[in-house]
Amino acid sequence: MFSRWDIKYSPYLYVAPFFVLFGVFGLYPLLMTAYMSLTDWNLIGDRSFVGLENYSALLVDEYFWNAVRNTFAIFLIATVPQMFLALFLATLLNRPLRARTFWRMLIFVPNVTSLAAVAVVFGVFFRRDFGIVNYFIGLVGIDPISWRTEQWPSWIALATMIDWRWTGYNTLIFLAAMQAIPKDLYESAALDGAGRWRQFLSITLPGLRPTLFFVVIISTIGGWQLFTEPLIFNGGGGAILGGARREFQTVAMYMYEKAFDNLQFGYGSAVAFALFALIVIFSVLNYLLVRRSVRN
């Protein structure tokens, strides 16, 4: 009697914790975000339903679009060089190396650090006065750059931080994919007289296609949610603004500012939901883009 019950219902019992917990703490908040974005609420008092008012305000909200632009720019400046660098490092690691694991571990180690620590350390590197980056560019005769107050420099500084942390990770992902490509493909190509570059273009890259999708999508999702690095990089009071003129305020920071600093929880939810939409749109777009550009 028990054993029949056991076989029939145990599986549900085993998967139930995931669905219950995810439902309550993952799905429900997300759906509620959609609902709350249609209300005006300041944490206490009534939630008044305002329809699409928050969204019509969002459409003409200069600072929201500014945050979208910043986030996208940082994502782009970070991701493009990172992909090339990771591909390059992966091809290096894919060769027969002495102390293979040693190299892999040291390339990956930036990923294993405290996020806040990265932002603090790079914040010091990128100081205008007495910063090591300005010291080095000073050696080649460039004037000190005010990394924290100017738009492009701040984007570059943040992109550097992101790349330092994630290039190694993506290198390993690419490396894994490269190793899964059958070796005989290369051998026959070599017999046909294809050089290394030719082999890379016609065998390695197509073989990496699904992995590229994966990496680009993951980077997109992560990139749009950028929060910790710019917040700590800014430092000082009112760091949530992301620079005096919001030069590097990201969408996630703007959401936080609206919801948790200004207590406009309805409007903050609208920002959050718009961000969700942006992530979906860009994931799809990137997927199509990568599919087009890496065709067999």
Partner 1 sequence: MISPILRKGASMSVTTRRRKFAVVALAAVTALGGLAACSKKDEEAKPGEIKLVVDHFGEFGYDELVKQYESTHPGIKVEIRKTAQLNDYRPLLVRYLATQKGAGDVVALEEGIITEFKANPANWIDLKPYVGDKRNDYLPWKYDIGVLADGRLMALPTDVGGLATCYRSDLFKAAGMPFEREKVSASWKTWADFIKVGQEYKTKSGGKALLDTVTTAFSAAMSQAGGDGFYDKDFNVVADKSATVKSAWDTAISLANAGITAKIRTWSPEWTAGFQQGTFAATLCPSWMLGIVEQNSGAANKGKWDVADVPGGGGNWGGSFLAVPTQSKHPKEAAELAAFLTNADSQVAAFKAKGPLPSNLKALDNSDFKAYKNAYFSDAPVGAIFGSGAKTLKPLVLGPKHQAVKERAFEPQLQAFEGGQVSAAKAWEDAIKDAKTQGAF
Partner 2 sequence: MKKLWAASPLTYLALTLAVLLSITPFYFMFVVATRKLEVINAVPPPFTPGGDFGDNFQRVLDNEHAAFIYGLINSVVVSSIITLSVVFFSSLAGFAFAKLRFRGQNALLLIIIATMMIPTQLGIIPLYDMMVNFFHLDGTLPAVILPFLVTGLGVFMMRQYASSAISDELIEAARVDGCTTFRIYWSVVLPALRPAMGVLGLLTFMEQWNSFLWPYAILNADTPTVQVSLALLSQAYYTDYAQVFSATAVATLPLLIVFALFGRQIIGGIMEGAVKA
Q: Does 30 bind partner 2 (CB under 8 A)?
A: yes
Backbone angles phi, psi at 48, to 5 degrees: -95, 135
Q: Between residue 182 and residue 221, which ones bind partner 2 under the rule CB under 8 A?
A: 186-187, 190, 196, 210-211, 213-214, 217, 221
Alpha helix ranges (H) inside the chain: 2-22, 28-36, 53-59, 62-93, 100-108, 115-125, 132-139, 151-179, 183-191, 196-199, 205-207, 209-224, 228-234, 251-256, 265-293
Which two structure tokens, joined as six digits, stand for 44? 């206490």
The helix (H) or strand (E) run that includes residue 47 is strand 44-49
Compare residues 59 and 235 and give the one whose CB is closer to partner 2.
235
**Among the residue ranges 32-40, 52-60, 64-72, 232-240, the one whose residues contact partner 1 (CB under 8 A):** 232-240
Asked if 149 interacts with partner 2 (CB under 8 A), we say no
Helix (H, G, I), strand (E, B) or coil at 295: coil
Q: Assess 142 for contact with partner 1 (CB under 8 A).
A: no
Q: Among residues 97 and 244, whose Cβ is nearest to partner 2? A: 97
The answer to whether 141 and 149 have CB atoms below 8 angstroms apart is no
Stretch that binds partner 2, among 13-21, 61-69, 145-153, 287-295 (CB under 8 A): 13-21
d(C-alpha 199, C-alpha 192), whole Å: 10
Assess contact for 171 and 105: CB atoms under 8 A.
no
Q: How far is the CB of 32 from partner 1 (least distance, A)?
A: 18
| Of 29 and 56, CB closest to partner 2 | 29
* Cα(126)–Cα(157) distance, integer angstroms: 7
**Applying CB under 8 A, does 244 fall inside the site for partner 2?**
no
Residues 250/226, Cβ–Cβ less than 8 Å: yes
For residue 224, the minimal CB distance to partner 1 (Å) is: 17
Q: Does 133 participate in binding partner 2 (rule CB under 8 A)?
A: no
Q: Under the criterion CB under 8 A, does residue 122 sit at the interface with partner 2? A: yes
| Interface segment toward partner 2; rule CB under 8 A; list 57-65, 149-157, 275-283, 284-292 | 275-283
- Pairwise CA distance, residues 42 & 263, whole Å: 5
- Residue 223 binding partner 1, by CB under 8 A: no
The one segment of 80-88, 156-164, 196-204, 238-246 that binds partner 1 by CB under 8 A: 238-246
Q: From residue 173 to residue 212, what is the string marking binding to partner 1 with x (rule CB under 8 A)?
A: -------------------------------------x--
- Which 49-88 positions form the footprint of partner 2 (CB under 8 A)? none
Token pair 């961000």: residue: 275
Nearest to 209 by CA among 288, 151, 122, 272: 288
Give the Cα separation of 70 and 251 in Å (integer): 8
Catalog residues that contact partner 1 under the rule CB under 8 A. 42-44, 123-124, 127-130, 146, 148-151, 210, 213-214, 217, 235-239, 241, 244-245, 247, 260-263, 287
